[in-house]
Amino acid sequence: MSEYNFQILVCGGTGCKASESEEIRSSFVNLLNEYGLEEEVQVVLTDCFGFCEKGPIVKMMPDKTVYVRVKPSDADEIIKEHIVKGNQVERLLYRDPVTGTVVRDRQHMEFYKKQIRIALRNCGFINPEEIDEYIAHDGYMALGTCLTEMKPMEVIEQIKKSGLRGRGGGGFPTGLKWEITAKVPGDQKYVVCNVDEGDPGAFMDRSILEGDPHTVIEAMIINGYCTGASKGLVYIRAEYPLAISRLKIALAQARAYGLLGDDILGSGFNFDIEIRYGAGAFVCGEETALIHSMEGCRGEPTFKPPFPSVSGYLGKPTNVNNVETYANIPVIINKGADWFASIGTEKSKGTKVFALAGKINNVGLIEVPLGTTLREVIYDIGGGIRGGKKFKAVQTGGPSGGMLTAEFLDTPIDYDNLLAAGSMMGSGGMIVMDEDDCMVAIAKFYLGFTVEESCGKCAPCRIGNKRLHEILERITDGKGEIQDLDRLFMLSNVIKDASLCGLGQTSPNPVLSSLKYFRQEYEAHVKASHCPAGQCKALVRYEVIEDKCTGCTLCFRNCPVGAITGEKREVHFIDQSLCIKCGVCFEKCKFGAILVS
């Protein structure tokens, strides 16, 4: 069908764009025109290949040769050698850094695929509203294996062996959790799927439910079989209408096939699932709070022990796992615990889904083996920092996590490393910050979230976080004093030490880590009333640089509050008492005549 014999794919990902991919493309196009090959060869700009470190990347089709670190000047050689003569350009091929051998095509370029999709395996591949498509992709096979070939304890053994840990934040070993629930005696037990995803910027659970609801259903049935529960509950925030509607369709289809209900697959095992709606309180992600919310009580945590595995929903043994944890289960059964355990690090097995956000080029949902470094995630998958800016920090674990600086870029991501670095895995939000971000303001943002989302039950979290936020507000308003830094530190530690649940015990992490790694920014705010990133409005001044102002009146005309005065072709002036620091003058000025200080 194609009229072209060759296609040249030039990586146009924003990471590569910064390194001249546009120029590379035009050199190809120009040269092809020159050589009269434009009818035979098509040049196409693609998105990021996910190997920005070696970018720009050029891929030759149909033979799939990949060239790395291509410069515009290389276009000529590639056309002459590869297209005309059919020879690969050796010097542009990728060499394995360990063995030094040349890697010739994409099929062998393992490095180039940093991601492995286990939990997301079906997302974006199958129609989530068709159970048949799920079945075509091994759906419910794991359930079949468990129900007909394995005893509950054997399944639990496999989950334990796989090394799977809870993907919701704490990282508790999943198999062990199942085992505890299984061993507690009880006439009625429950398994609960936690879909109270609430970290700012995290949406992996929603995506999985929207893209592959049956995997969660299948895993919950297996969970029920293992623990002796006949009832499953999905606690989902009402803000997820599409996930809810897909889940409902999936439940109905599973029931129609008899995969939910009595005597599943002729095994004699009965199980069904109900949906419970949450109002989207962040704290209801904490399992005891979640259970209270499902019981119709105020969504607030209670002291553990007793753990839900012993006394949970309605006082019955209850196993709570989140969506992503469940999404791994069928694969572990189908591909084997050993297979799963071969991925990841010693203590953190398998993959983790992250929602990449912030000042990064390829904002999106990724799934990488645990042990992947932050650098690989941010640069190779995320395509680097937007606008070619400098990386400053990355926040993992949402409001409960800490900020990790450049020194941690090569730290392999796993539960223990993140904790040791003062952050945590959390549910997988990953927010990247660049040089323009003020760390004090970021800490304030997260504290603001915690203050909003604290349930208010225990005093350190209810009042302490409020006070922390007030101190941070003071600092970003330029009203802080140096003693405030000590107050932040001491109060943060007490809140961590004395709070009732995980929310309060981790909420000061953004403050503590930013204080640790960016103390000079705090000091600049309180000592010099200066926000180094220029983000704290109260500390920013916009002024006209007289030498540069041409009197074009653009700033004057765009200022929303009339703070700028000046005649045509004369130097303009910003009245500081009226200025609201919106920055419009700075953006509009074509002559760089607005000074931000």
Partner 1 sequence: MDMINLTIDNKPVVVVKGTTILEAAKSIGITVPTLCHMKLDDLGIENKPGGCRICVVEVKGRRNLAPACCTEATDGMEVSTHSIRAINARRTVLELILSDHPSDCLVCAKSGNCELQDLAHRLGIREIHYKGEQSSYRADTSPAIIRELNKCILCRRCEMMCNEVQTVGVLSAINRGFSSVVSPAFEMNLDHSVCTYCGQCVAVCPTGALTEVDHTGAVVRALADPTKTVIVQTAPAVRAALGEEFDMEPGTLVTGKLVAALRRLGFDYVFDTDFSADLTIMEEGTELLNRLKRHLEGDPDVKLPILTSCCPAWVKFFEHQFPDMKDIPSTARSPQQMFGSIAKSYFAGILGIKREDLVVVSIMPCVAKKYECGRDEFAVNNNPDVDFALTTRELAALIKVSNIKFRLLDNEEYDAPLGESTGAGVIFGTTGGVIEAAVRSAYELYTGKELPKIEFEELRGMEGLRKATIDFNGLPINIGIAHGLRNARKLLEDMRAGNSWYHAIEIMSCPGGCIGGGGQPYHHGNVEILKKRQMALYREDSNKAIRKSHENPYIKKLYEEYLGHPMSEKAHHLLHTVYFDRTR
Partner 2 sequence: MSKITSVADLKKKKEQVQLNLGLRENSDAADTHVQIRVGMATCGIASGARETMNFLVEETRHQAIDAVITQTGCMGFCYAEPTVEITLPGKEPVVFGHVDKTKAREIIDRFIIKGELADGIIPVNFKTIDEY
* Contact set for partner 1, span 278-297 (CB under 8 A): 281
DSSP string, 43-79: EEEE---S-GGG-S-EEEETTTEEE-S--GGGHHHII
Burial 48-75 (b: 16+ CB within 10 A, else e): bbbbbebbbbbbbbeeebbbbebebebb
Q: Cis bond leading into 62, ω under 30°? A: yes
CA pair distance 344, 165, nearest whole angstrom? 12
Question: Which one of partner 1, partner 2, none interacts with residue 425, CB within 5 to 8 A by kind?
Answer: none
Q: Output 80 or 467, the one with its CB closest to partner 1.
A: 467
| Burial (CB count within 10 angstroms: exposed 0-12, middle 13-18, buried 19+), residue 187 | exposed
Question: Which one of partner 2, partner 1, none interacts with residue 302, CB within 5 to 8 A by kind?
Answer: partner 1
**Which amino acid is located at 317 in the chain?**
P
**Which amino acid is located at 414 in the chain?**
D
Footprint on residues 301-360 left by partner 2 (CB under 8 A): 331, 335, 339, 343
Q: Which of 54, 160, 177, 206 binds partner 2 (CB under 8 A)?
A: 206
Q: Cis bond leading into 510, ω under 30°? A: no
Question: Which one of partner 2, partner 1, none interacts with residue 446, CB within 5 to 8 A by kind?
Answer: none
Footprint on residues 371-390 left by partner 2 (CB under 8 A): 381
Q: Which of 487, 530, 537, 588 binds partner 1 (CB under 8 A)?
A: 487
Q: Measured from the CB of residue 314, what is the shortest distance to partner 1 in angstroms?
A: 16
Question: Which one of partner 2, partner 1, none interacts with residue 123, CB within 5 to 8 A by kind?
Answer: partner 2
Footprint on residues 509-568 left by partner 1 (CB under 8 A): none
Q: Which stretch binds partner 1 (CB under 8 A): 132-140, 377-385, 494-502, 523-531?
A: 494-502
Question: Which one of partner 2, partner 1, none interacts with residue 470, CB within 5 to 8 A by kind?
Answer: partner 1
Q: Which stretch binds partner 1 (CB under 8 A): 8-16, 71-79, 141-149, 497-505?
A: 497-505
Q: Which of 181, 454, 476, 514 binds partner 1 (CB under 8 A)?
A: 454
Q: Measured from the CB of residue 244, what is the shortest distance to partner 2 in angstroms?
A: 11
Count CB neighbours of 516 within 10 A.
13
Q: Which stretch binds partner 1 (CB under 8 A): 55-63, 319-327, 350-358, 463-471?
A: 463-471
Helix, coil or strand: residue 565? strand
Q: Measured from the CB of residue 334, what is the shortest distance to partner 2 in angstroms?
A: 8
Q: Which residues contact 469 (CB under 8 A, 6 or more apart)?
A: 444, 447, 448, 450, 451
CA pair distance 506, 496, nearest whole angstrom? 6
Q: Identify the CA nearest to 4 among candidates 41, 59, 44.
A: 41
Cα→Cα distances 240→168, 226, 279, 539, 558, Å: 17, 29, 10, 39, 40
245 binds partner 2, rule: CB under 8 A = no
Q: Output 102 or 490, the one with its CB closest to partner 1.
A: 490
CA pair distance 373, 357, nearest whole angstrom? 17
CA pair distance 167, 171, nearest whole angstrom? 6
CA pair distance 429, 241, nearest whole angstrom? 21
Q: Output 498 or 552, the one with its CB closest to partner 1.
A: 498
Q: Which of 80, 467, 530, 537 binds partner 1 (CB under 8 A)?
A: 467
Question: Which one of partner 2, partner 1, none interacts with residue 497, CB within 5 to 8 A by kind?
Answer: partner 1
CA pair distance 314, 292, nearest whole angstrom? 9
Q: Output 164 or 439, the one with its CB closest to partner 2.
A: 164
Q: Identify the CA nearest to 326 among candidates 220, 178, 196.
A: 220
Structure-derived torsion over alpha carbons of residues 108, 113, 115, 117, reported in degrees to the nearest 10: -60
Q: Output 244 or 549, the one with its CB closest to partner 2.
A: 244
Q: Are strands 594-596 and 542-544 parallel, antiparallel or unpaired?
A: antiparallel
249 binds partner 2, rule: CB under 8 A = no
Helix, coil or strand: residue 4? coil
529 binds partner 2, rule: CB under 8 A = no
Q: Output 84 or 490, the one with its CB closest to partner 1.
A: 490
6 binds partner 2, rule: CB under 8 A = no
Q: Report how many residues bind partner 2 under the rule CB under 8 A.
A: 78
Q: Which tokens go with 466?
A: 């409020």
User: Any idea which residue has 């393992």 for tokens?
Assistant: 110
**Number of residues that make up the chain:** 597
Q: Which stretch binds partner 2 (CB under 8 A): 71-79, 87-95, 263-271, 418-426?
A: 263-271
Q: Which of 232, 399, 460, 480 binds partner 1 (CB under 8 A)?
A: 460
Helices (H), 413-568: 415-420, 439-453, 459, 465-476, 483-498, 502-506, 509-517, 519-528, 554-558
303 binds partner 1, rule: CB under 8 A = yes
Q: Measured from the CB of residue 487, what is the shortest distance to partner 2 in angstroms?
A: 39
491 binds partner 1, rule: CB under 8 A = yes
Q: Measured from the CB of residue 258, what is the shortest distance to partner 2 in angstroms?
A: 4
CA pair distance 487, 492, nearest whole angstrom? 8
Q: Which of 48, 222, 404, 425 binds partner 2 (CB under 8 A)?
A: 48
324 binds partner 1, rule: CB under 8 A = no
Question: Which one of partner 1, partner 2, none interacts with residue 174, CB within 5 to 8 A by kind?
Answer: none
Q: Which residues bind partner 1 (CB under 8 A)?
A: 281, 298, 300, 302-303, 305, 451-460, 462-467, 470-471, 487, 490-491, 494, 496-500, 505
